[in-house]
Amino acid sequence: MKEDGNGRQLWNRIDKLRGSMSIRELSERTGILEGSLQTTRSLGTLPKMQMLYPIAQALGTTVEYLYTGIEENEYSDNPVFRKIASSQLLFDITSRLANATPEEVEMIRRLLDVSKPSYMQ
């Protein structure tokens, strides 16, 4: 695995949020093996979604913030968005999309574009 600039930024955000919490304590709070956290962090690689959701939960933030560093966005005040951003639903969706073909992802994107609620248009 090679270092990823985005991965390094993500780990910097995680480190800032965890403050004095050790990797061992983060491991205990998330159920992720300490060695997996240490390796991914030291290499500066982007963790898989299976790691990010429990990390975000343990640190009291969202996966969106860990990925982007943006705490607020145009949907932040929307209760549906807030629920999804801090729930298992986002984890479930991204986990399932990880195994989808590019054609399937494109079809899902098109379906979502067609069925956007009015507040997202």
What pLDDT sits at residue 5? 59
Residue with tokens 């990010």: 52
The answer to whether residue 13 scores a pLDDT higher than 50 is yes
Query: Measured between alpha carbons, how far is 97 from 49 in angstroms, rounded to an integer?
Result: 11
pLDDT tens for 59-116 read 988 887 888 887 765 666 667 766 666 666 766 776 677 777 888 878 887 887 776 6
pLDDT tens for 17-76 read 999 999 999 999 999 999 999 999 999 888 887 888 899 989 988 887 888 887 765 666
What pLDDT sits at residue 39? 94
Query: Measured between alpha carbons, how far is 98 from 78 in angstroms, rounded to an integer?
Result: 26
What pLDDT sits at residue 2? 40
- In order of their start, the domains of the chain are 5-120 (1.10.260)
What pLDDT sits at residue 121? 53
What pLDDT sits at residue 4? 47
**CA neighbor of 60 nearest in space, from 14, 9, 12, 8:** 14
Could you tell me which residue, 4 or 33, shows the higher pLDDT?
33
Q: Other CB atoms closer than 10 Å to residue 21's CB: what's the count?
A: 15
